[in-house]
Structure 1
Amino acid sequence: MSLAVTDAPVDDAERVLVRFTSVELRPVEGEPVVYEFDDVRTIDLLAQQGSDHEWLFEDHEVPAGEYEQIRLHLEPGGLSDGPPASVLGTTSTIEFPDRTPSPLAVPSGLQTGLKLVSGFVVPADGEASLTVDFDLRKAITRPKGEPWVANDYYFLRPALRLVDNTEVGHLEGEIDPDLVDANNDACTGGNAVYVFDDPEQDPRDIRDENGDPVTTALVKQTEESAAEGTETWAYRVGFLTAGTYRIAFTCDAERDDPEEADDLNFQSEAAVTIEAGETTQQNL
């Protein structure tokens, strides 16, 4: 079995360094299968955008059968900060421009880890190749109260999506420059494409409930166009299971609180069909 991680990004952050110590696979029947890393695996999730990914492990022998859950365990930290950080804090960090790195805490607890409840099958005499998608727009939140504020913590919630690598395709495209926040006075800030698994759905914000986007992607000016003094704004979405989706662009994404309902303005949208093994182009 092989397991990779990828990311749907969060606004403004420069790096999200997550330090993995082990992966726990929980079968429908039987004892958990735990894969302990010889050394802590540090992965920058913001470097794994679009179709980019990094393997947690490859070609690892796993008992055949049905599995119902994956738990990703992180290196503990925060012991000097006192409870509850001492039992929830990790050595993982999020980095913003011109700031000291902020520690990440797992609100569900380090013993539980980042829990992904999603069934998959490891075939007998076969292979399973899977990717865990972290949607950081959903996962990263700012906690309230002590000691979180005093120690500048952020929460890393288990906003995870598991996909079979043999069943996915990728999506990319460009955004009309007149729509982005740099050129549009109606925007509050934050250029992003939201992806919904119902092609008929009316686009909306993230609310931590049914109807949320399955993933999101940042929209940024390409390095080439910035160097040339032109304006090409692009997005990339990776690891979408084959099917038809509704995608929508907003320039208000910075004020999308993943735990509350927010009124976002979506300037452009389209239905798009993803095919396994293919990269689909869709401009907005």
Structure 2
Amino acid sequence: MSVKTMPCLRTAICLAMLSVLSGCGGSSSSNSAPSPSPSPSPAPSPTDARLSFAVSDAPVDEASAVVVSFSSITLVPEDENAESVELAITDDNGDPSYDTINLLDYQGSEQKLLLQNMSVTPGVYKNLIINTYACPQNQNGDSTFCYVEDTSGIKPLKTPSNKLQLGGITVSEGAQETYVLEFNLRSSLVSTANGQSFNLKPQGISIVSTSSSGKVIGTVDPNILNNSLGCETVFAPNTDHGKSVYLYSLPAEGEVANVTLTDEFDANEASAGTPENALAPMASIQISLSESGDVYEFDFGDVAAGNYLIAFSCSAINDDPVEYDAIQIPNPENQQQTLSVTAGSTTVVEFVE
């Protein structure tokens, strides 16, 4: 196993990170929406920040499309006397609109720009809310604007009250920042109504500033899958084949000896049996076969600078995003390592036999 940090890659697995941000509020992919016009914004101050927001995702098992319509982003100030800021997606005439996006089109290092160069007053914002447009609120709702497509057809996709509340950000004077809203769909997408619909939850969606983040990509040696106990299940593309990489934030002291690495679960809903010393992943992703067919790959996209632990498991089939499933991580037992992510760099992880 090894970890390398480099400014760029010359291998095929780096191609995904070379895609440029595309689209923005008011682009041709937006559509008119019957929502009221926002209040006029004051003229920007020289100290105002300029913010852009993009979306990206880690793919989910067995879904061929995860489509969401977005209408705006709301920033809620920590100062309760200050008004919330709504950053609306608009059409070519400047009228409120929405953008319908298949998240699976923007995996790993690929991103879709939602809002660009928006003027925002500096300060502390206690909540960033993604406002979705016309997502159904039950399994019988209209799936025109938000849906999941899997092997059995199109299913309604609900977001809670058409709002995804992600937590706070701090905006500095004069900052020019792009925030990537990273959808870890293995955590945030939950099947409901006996598989007849899905919920999209804030859990697993993170806010990452591109100025203070790096990329995490890597490979898994095929010999690990072919020769190790616990890896007998067949690798089958576009299915839940159970070959996954888990990324964890290290405890503050940087030690992992006293924690148990767990699979995806919702701490607010998981049933009894979750270890007391559980360290849940911040993201997870299934590996995929490279175009050359000689190695398996993964790409976590933008990850905030810091120290992490990364582990591979070949027995992660049926990882329920709500329940603790007691999946063996790592498996094989030696397939874990620590890594440091540096802003502006790409960290390459290699899992070898």
Same fold (TM over 0.5): yes
Name structure 1 gaps, 5 residues minimum.
226-230
Change (3 A) 1:181 1:262: farther
Look up the SS of the partner of 2:89 in the other structure: strand
Q: Is the 8 A contact 1:246 1:269 kept in 2?
A: yes
* 2:306 corresponds to which of 243, 267, 270: 243
Q: What is the deviation of 1:36?
A: 2.0
Q: Please say if 1:31 is aligned against 2:31.
A: no
The one-letter code matched in structure 2 to 1:44 is: N
Partner of 1:169: 214
Q: Please say if 1:101 is aligned against 2:154.
A: yes
Look up the SS of the partner of 1:264 in the other structure: coil
CA distances 1:73-100 after superposition (whole Å, capped 9, x unpaired): 112144xxxx745789772112224x32
* 1:194 corresponds to which of 246, 249, 255: 246
Partner of 1:278: 345
Q: What is the deviation of 1:60?
A: 0.8
The one-letter code matched in structure 1 to 2:122 is: A
Once residues 132 and 227 of structure 2 are traced to their aligned partners in structure 1, the CA distance between those partners, rounded to angstroms, is 38
Once residues 5 and 137 of structure 1 are traced to their aligned partners in structure 2, the CA distance between those partners, rounded to angstroms, is 16
* 1:185 corresponds to which of 232, 236, 248: 232
Q: Is the 8 A contact 2:233 2:241 kept in 1?
A: no
* 2:321 corresponds to which of 239, 253, 258: 258
Partner of 1:15: 65
Once residues 202 and 88 of structure 1 are traced to their aligned partners in structure 2, the CA distance between those partners, rounded to angstroms, is 42
CA distances 1:129-172 after superposition (whole Å, capped 9, x unpaired): 21111110111111237xxx6xx211111121112211111111
Q: Please say if 1:155 is aligned against 2:213.
A: no
Once residues 60 and 129 of structure 1 are traced to their aligned partners in structure 2, the CA distance between those partners, rounded to angstroms, is 10
The one-letter code matched in structure 1 to 2:292 is: E
Look up the SS of the partner of 2:202 in the other structure: coil
Q: Is the 8 A contact 1:181 1:189 kept in 2?
A: no
1:66-215 map, 5 Å? 66-78=124-136, 84-85=138-139, 91-97=145-151, 99-106=152-159, 108-110=160-162, 113-117=163-167, 119-144=168-193, 152-159=196-203, 160-180=205-225, 184-185=231-232, 189-198=241-250, 200=256, 201-209=259-267, 211-215=279-283
CA distances 1:162-210 after superposition (whole Å, capped 9, x unpaired): 1221111111111121334899316793221100011625422112237
Q: What is the deviation of 1:124?
A: 2.4
Look up the SS of the partner of 1:236 in the other structure: strand
Q: Please say if 1:59 is aligned against 2:117.
A: yes
Once residues 233 and 149 of structure 2 are traced to their aligned partners in structure 1, the CA distance between those partners, rounded to angstroms, is 29
Q: Is the 8 A contact 2:139 2:156 kept in 1?
A: no
Partner of 1:2: 52
Change (3 A) 1:87 1:65: farther
Once residues 260 and 279 of structure 2 are traced to their aligned partners in structure 1, the CA distance between those partners, rounded to angstroms, is 9
Q: Is the 8 A contact 1:121 1:128 kept in 2?
A: no
Name structure 2 gaps, 5 residues minimum.
1-50, 91-96, 235-239, 268-277
Quote the RMSD (CA, aligned, Å): 2.5
Change (3 A) 1:93 1:66: same
Q: Is the 8 A contact 1:75 1:90 kept in 2?
A: no
Once residues 64 and 58 of structure 1 are traced to their aligned partners in structure 2, the CA distance between those partners, rounded to angstroms, is 17
Change (3 A) 1:186 1:89: closer
Q: Is the 8 A contact 1:181 1:251 kept in 2?
A: no
Once residues 131 and 181 of structure 1 are traced to their aligned partners in structure 2, the CA distance between those partners, rounded to angstroms, is 36
Larger deviation, residues 200-209 vs 263-272:
200-209
Q: Is the 8 A contact 1:165 1:239 kept in 2?
A: yes
Percentage identity across aligned positions? 27
Once residues 190 and 227 of structure 2 are traced to their aligned partners in structure 1, the CA distance between those partners, rounded to angstroms, is 25
Q: Is the 8 A contact 1:9 1:216 kept in 2?
A: no
The one-letter code matched in structure 2 to 1:161 is: S
Q: Is the 8 A contact 1:173 1:281 kept in 2?
A: yes
Q: What is the deviation of 1:224?
A: 2.6
